[in-house]
Amino acid sequence: MATITTPPLAPAPAAPSRDGVGEWRAGWRVALRLARRDVRRHVGRSLLIVLMVAVPVLLLVGGNIVFSSQDLTAAERIPYAMGQTQAVATYSGGIQIPPQVEPWFGYYGQGMPKSDLATPVPGWGTDLATHAQALGALAGATAIPITEDGGYTTIGRRQIDLQVRGVDAARYSTQTQGIVRLESGRWPTSSTEAVVTKVGVFHGLPSSGTLAVTDRSGTLTTYTIVGVGEGWIAAYSLQPVDLITLPAAGALENGVAAYLIDRPTPVTWDEVKRLATYGLQVTSRQVILNPPSREELALPDGVQSMADNAAAGQAITSAIMAIGLLLETTLLVGPAFAVSAARQRRTLALAASNGATTAQLRRTVLAQALVLGVLAALVGAVVGVLGAWAVIRWSGIYRPDTMFGPFDVPVLPVAIIVGCAVVSAVIAAMIPSRGLGRLDIVAVMRGQSVSPPALVRTPIAGIVLAGLGAVGVFWAVAFTSGAERTWIDDVVPLVAMGGAIMLVIGALLLVPMVLVLAGRVARSAPVAIRMALRDAARQRGRATSTVAAILGGTALLSAILVVAASDTAYRAKTYVPQLPMGQALLIPTTQMDGSLADPRWTQNVTDIAHGIDPALQVHEIALVDVSRTGGAIQKPIGPESPMVMPFFVAVRTGCALAQALDMGAPIGADGPPDMSCLSLNGRGMSEGRSAILVGTVAQLVQTYTLDATAEATLRAGGLVVAGDKAVTPTWTKMPEGGWVPSGPILGQVDIVDGRVSLARGTATYGSEAGPTLGNVTTLSLAATPVPAATLNATDAGVPGPAFHGMTMVGALMTVETAKSLSLPTQTIETRIFDPRGPLSAEAGAALSQSFADSNLGWFYVERGFQPYDTVLAAIVLSFIGLIILVATLVSTALSTAETQSMMGTFAAVGATRSTRRNLAAAQAGSLGVIGALLGTLVGFVPGIALARSFTRYPTESVAYGEYTQGAPALVDPTVVIPWLQLAIPVIAVPALAALLAWLAIRKAPTVTRRLT
């Protein structure tokens, strides 16, 4: 019997080994190649995405470069501060000081400042030359004096305030390179020659001829201009100067004198510490470039962390802005990638039917985002760098007063911005790519692709997150910190940010449900609206991205509008006029910066006012200020040199003259300040209710509505004084040191037999406690008391109870009396008014322009409460409205391009161009309205919370005598919903988008007729 045998089966081939990393790399390589092809194929869509990502990138990159080029580091400041020398030194006035590495930022070494007397510098002398000689001998170097001074010049009626750098650049041209630079002409060689800088020419100085300059001591010098150059003062910010002269001797008293230390060897940290014991603050090139260790510096607690935080400040700020860029770009570009993914559905379905995995399909979409994101970020960064360079070059030519250092590209902030831009594009594409995991291949191939059914848990999660976020935002905003800081204070900012994020995420999770509900509600709507909403409900991926972009912009806008409207209503409700309606005031520029004013200032103001309208009246308001005379205050110039100051004070009964001058001295060794002798003080802006105001009799009587007795006293050369008693506050000692009063500190004028006792002379303040008096003369003036509120009423000669919060009036004196007593005065402001009624708008505008052209000061006209600048509000509304409009139009344009085949079907069955236009308009308008409504509701939460927080505290007291001890009582918050402004993003912007979409449908689709 035959046996049938079966040959053995060959063993199955072994499965090929999988190289996961290799497959991943190969997959991304193919995806990126396809993405590059798609970018070139669809140039219009690619350019749109690149533009939306690149524009914010170039703005942030350019802004960082401009900031970095303007914000100089300590090393970059070296040539501006010390030229080519080894160090620069300043003298502190005979008191030991702590050594510093960088005086521009205030980081001290070796503890905080001391009050011990410095070791005298041998041969210090009293002038710049002997100072330099003594310092050179002490440091083993050549000491070169340089000075900083100020002053003013007048050209016509215009007063030009000047910054003056004093340096002997003709003798020390090499050493001073960097501090000054000569462009044409020569350096000054005498005390009456000067070089004008490009900044000075920009400010209006002549580039040749002569120039009369009044310095801070009041001395007039006529300079011959011998050249044009540049010069700088390295303070906390780098300041360009207007004039370069030889070192000014007056800078010892009225400016700043410094000394360059020029020698071959560097000035070490040990030498810096040694010279500090002589009262010399030395900034060394060597120490800045090679700073000592933290252990050597012995920094106080917290100082090093402050320095570290300051160093990282720009990077942190850039990171925050980059995160905002990420959110903005993700919302704006999201619709474009959603539509792009929808356009590729058929191609992706074919790939999936041939075995492509979900990961490979997602790579196809993400690769496009990666290519476009990198391209856009690089384009934006390059354009930002070039734009910043152009801005800096333009500023150097046309705005020399804007100071820039070396062109600086901050690598870390720019890298953060570029990286976030790329990440934002990838995240924007990641959302539609997630839907490819549920791609219905059969439906897509049949042309019936719709979004998968929405998950029930999604809107529930959205409601929960939005509710928790709203609660968190309201709690964080309403939280009030206690007397002592706890861990809750640190958590509040995190809760606020987390709440806001949860609120937005929750609202976005609700969008699909809202689209489905809108599609169902629109069953009875017109055809175009019904089809648009049904299409949005069926294609939720594309529509959700569009609604999310609109929601983000509208939420921000609605929050801003609610806060602005509420704050405006609150300020309008609590507004107190600073002047009688229609009157104006002008505060001289010198009053704000402390410099001297042109003696013709008041006359110039009067001439301008009468030139505009001869009927206008100008009233000057001035204070007695004995410290404003040239050289009145003598600064110490050596360890044993005291400070000498003139005085003019009223002496209260039972008070010694020294007590009236040494205000604030403690009562006992550890007691509170002694203010019991506070009275009138002729030192301009003095302590509360002690200023002496000067004016003509007519002005004073009219302004303060004085009676006949007070008027007679003024005419007789007497004073009208505040008759209220002094307010004695309760002093509380703070745990960290110092004393805090329970209320305002107000002086008192004692009238004995109808007269006030006054004294004048000089007070010398040395190292010992208390002043030494000299040249004392006493006098008594007739006085008539009036209520203090009369001299400090809101509608009186100065607005409010104080000169803009700086002082209170204690007495009135006539101009004639001040002159007869040889009392110098300081002009505080001028009042301009029309006796016929309120100042007209035309006159106010002409006065404002004329005063600005002449640089005479700050001008203000009382017109009642004025809301926020309408131009600024229009800019904000327009910008955010533009974002909403762009997001809507991008989605509409791309979706219209996607539905071209459907439009062909419409045309084949008889649809007209109007029908197609109506459908496109309905798509744009409906999505715009839905996104704007949701965004408005989301923005209401932080907007109302912030409005309640901002408007629950009372405004600062402005009526005389009002004062609230401790924390002010809360008031009912003011919340205003600006419905009219909100109609712009909710109605106007979607309507505009619908109109543009309607106009965009211009040609009929191509339809092929079947012949058989």
Least confident range of 61-65, 100-104, 221-225, 469-473: 100-104
**pLDDT, tens only, 698-734:** 888 888 889 999 999 999 999 999 888 877 777 777 7
**Range with the largest mean pLDDT of 4-8, 325-329, 374-378, 854-858:** 374-378
Band of the pLDDT at 814, cuts 50, 70, 90? very high
CA 176 to CA 170: how far, in whole Å? 9
CA 344 to CA 347: how far, in whole Å? 5
Per-residue confidence (pLDDT) for residue 390, from 0 to 100: 92
Instruction: Extract the tokens encoding 170.
Output: 């003709």
Least confident range of 191-200, 321-330, 357-366, 751-760: 321-330
In a 13 Å sphere around the CA of 223, the CA atoms on its Cβ side amount to 31
Per-residue confidence (pLDDT) for residue 8, from 0 to 100: 59
Q: Span 660-669, mean pLDDT?
A: 62
Per DSSP, what are the bridge partners of residue 683? 625
Beta-sheet pairing, 755-765 with 772-786:
antiparallel
Q: Using the structure block, give the residue that is written with the tokens 């050369």.
A: 717
Residue 224 has pLDDT above 80, yes or no: yes
Per-residue confidence (pLDDT) for residue 1007, from 0 to 100: 59
Per-residue confidence (pLDDT) for residue 111, from 0 to 100: 41
Instruction: Extract the tokens encoding 366.
Output: 């993400």
Instruction: Extract the tokens encoding 14.
Output: 């072994």
Best CA proximity match to 233, nearest among 254, 257, 252: 257
**pLDDT, tens only, 486-537:** 666 667 667 776 777 788 788 888 888 888 888 788 778 887 888 877 777 7
Least confident range of 184-193, 304-313, 576-585: 304-313
Per-residue confidence (pLDDT) for residue 963, from 0 to 100: 46
- 3-state SS assignment for residue 861: strand
Best CA proximity match to 281, nearest among 527, 404, 114: 114
Per-residue confidence (pLDDT) for residue 141, from 0 to 100: 92
Alpha helices in 575-667 (DSSP H): 589-593, 601-612, 657-661
Q: What is the dihedral of CA 330, 336, 341, 346, to 10 degrees?
A: 180
- Listed by start position, the domains of the chain span 145-262, 641-793+801-822
CA 585 to CA 857: how far, in whole Å? 10
Per-residue confidence (pLDDT) for residue 225, from 0 to 100: 95
Q: Span 294-314, mean pLDDT?
A: 56
Residue 182 has pLDDT above 90, yes or no: yes
**pLDDT, tens only, 397-435:** 888 888 787 888 888 888 888 888 888 788 777 766 665
| Verdict on whether the full-model pTM lies above 0.85 | no
More confident: 391 or 447: 391
Per-residue confidence (pLDDT) for residue 174, from 0 to 100: 92
Helices 128-139 + 269-276 axis angle, to 10: 130
C-alpha distance from residue 812 to each of 205, 799, 855 (Å) = 40, 16, 29
Per-residue confidence (pLDDT) for residue 171, from 0 to 100: 93
Best CA proximity match to 579, nearest among 956, 831, 826, 866: 831
More confident: 639 or 390: 390
**pLDDT, tens only, 856-868:** 888 889 888 887 6
Residue 794 has pLDDT above 60, yes or no: no
Per-residue confidence (pLDDT) for residue 800, from 0 to 100: 36
List CB contacts of 293: < 8 A, sequence separation 6 or more. Answer: none
Residue 953 has pLDDT above 80, yes or no: no
Residue 355 has pLDDT above 70, yes or no: no
Residue 443 has pLDDT above 60, yes or no: no
Band of the pLDDT at 806, cuts 50, 70, 90? very low
Best CA proximity match to 725, nearest among 682, 788, 809, 783: 788
CA 639 to CA 940: how far, in whole Å? 64
Q: Span 247-264, mean pLDDT?
A: 84
Asked if 779 and 769 touch (Cβ cutoff 8 Å), the reply is: no
Least confident range of 127-141, 237-251, 630-644, 772-786: 630-644
Amino acid letter, residue 372? L
Asked if 692 and 625 touch (Cβ cutoff 8 Å), the reply is: no
Per-residue confidence (pLDDT) for residue 807, from 0 to 100: 55
Best CA proximity match to 466, nearest among 15, 913, 111, 940: 940
Band of the pLDDT at 317, cuts 50, 70, 90? low
Chain centroid to CA 185: how far? Answer: 40
Average pLDDT, the chain: 77
CA 322 to CA 315: how far, in whole Å? 10
Q: Using the structure block, give the residue that is written with the tokens 């210090």.
A: 124
- Write the burial class of residue 685 (CB in 10 Å: 0-12 exposed, 13-18 middle, 19+ buried): middle
More confident: 231 or 573: 231
**pLDDT, tens only, 67-126:** 888 877 788 888 998 999 999 998 876 667 777 766 654 443 444 444 567 788 888 888
List the strands of the sheet with 772-786, edge to edge.
643-650, 755-765, 772-786, 719-722, 809-814, 691-695, 617-624, 825-833, 584-588, 857-861
Residue 735 has pLDDT above 80, yes or no: no
Per-residue confidence (pLDDT) for residue 549, from 0 to 100: 75
Neighbours of 988 (CB within 10 A): 15
Q: Considering all CA atoms of the chain, what is the largest pairwise distance in Å, rounded to the nearest integer?
A: 158
Alpha helices in 594-695 (DSSP H): 601-612, 657-661
